[in-house]
A and B are shown apart, each in its own frame.
Chain A
């Protein structure tokens, strides 16, 4: 056993299930034994205790406040490519054994002898908070949403509807596997969001802004204040009041730094998740070693960035997260993997096995996915565009990993004409093809930025928090889905 010298603080947070539920290592071995009672290559247990708070101010009133607790244990048995899964929200020994025997139904062989002893994962502390925000005074959280409301309304008299919300959670997990895996983690997550509607006679527009991370409450009193998010949200709403129709068709597109990195997430990230490639259902299957982007592009997934929303000390299979190079100077280097895919494909486990909760089977997922900074000056990038759009904020996106087609929706964008940013345009969808969109990246800015910490990714009905980022990027050709009926010059109303 790999004994670590843990500081007191870390020790307190770990041992959670042992202290609160009276679990022993003996119990864990017994449960794993039941899971492997009909054979199988691997079994694991995922214990989760999630507590959360949410608050919303609406019409300048704290209209809703809620707190909740959800706890349970998921048991997985893997036999070849087969996975059996069962869970219980009752952490009594009888219920966990029942779940283990249910999951065991996937296999049909003599019982396996299970582990004798666990290897504890090396302690890491990417988000060391002394007081998790869920345990902080609720009055401080009320102050945050009220301040956001006030700041958004003060921004401009045309801001007439403001909703500000705050939510946090603390997820305590314990993952143990029949291969000796043993990992505990205590994962805080907090987020603020401000949504505004600006109205003038006969016209209205929405703006939204938000952010957070695996941070404590003081983050919102120091680094990113409610006023910061409120002003940004209000600014977007006011700006959209004067937005013109977006053009339609193929054109040059410049993406601003930060959240527009959702492009990478949709266009290449999902297509590089190992499960799709193992099953050869991804448009990227078989492309390792091949050129999938211009040589200016290097894309990584990095679960080890301190405080980030997409970061994890260990993934939901107990494996430490890491920085994984997906694309290096345009060449596809590898996939994001979990235990199952790494074993079946003979590739290394990149620590990307994630799940929404104990009710869900883990699968390869992104953490923080971004493109490294390049050499170009952002101003030069804009100046190089004759006719195109400059998109700086996005709603969400989606991808069909099989044919590679992806979309993402701009919520703040401008026309670029003769190298100048001109009028703001209405939200438009951008659509492209994952395996070749990055080959059309002709300029990469020197201004890499990560998003503010708002991303939630959905796959197979499971939502997990993620981060994205890019420097300013120029894509030579991308289809823009606007409504303006005429071509260059004619789009103005």
Chain B
């Protein structure tokens, strides 16, 4: 099939199968997304980040853990160290490149755990209703009432410092908004005619929730996740900065800033460079999230 006919096939008004219709609507979404320059810019940065993380061993000029005390605190642009070296003489660029893996790992884990937990709680509360709803939503409210960073701090204090515990702590503070969204969606879907039709056909609650309600909640959750990613990255970096996330000598970006903080006045680049990396990535997620919201959820695009 040549490209022109593929395009026509995708844009046809009369889809011939369910798969055709789904692909066509995806393609139309992509077309409208593509016209959003800023969102494409964000997507570009994230694709770049993924590539960097995937090919870190090939891209990094040095071992991120290799110390060289005679070479410590070299400035930016020095021979052989493009972004300089830190207080132990480790190459900052290499650490930055390997650090992208940690950032992606944290974001991916939180982005899996929090929305799924929220989806479960929200759809069950919305579909079952009554006391279950009241109790589940009260619990959600309690978690929402906590200041997020402080709660994460307290959790990490109880669980012990480390990446996995930081992920857990951030997820524990991140799920309530998803539960709210999922519940709101469920409430509108629950009373629609086709759900009654399925119920009359004998479908049980489990089947209705998993097969018919979840798929419809997904798009608004995806938008929310993308917009939340920036917050997740900032929270993880904050925990790392406080020494409660990734532990040294791990090249986590927040921990790198915390290390460079001691030399900020004389050797500014050690703390500046990883901060720029965090900023770029969370900016990319924000841009992408805005773009996705316009495509998937036009009613609250704020435009």
Are A and B physically bound partners? no
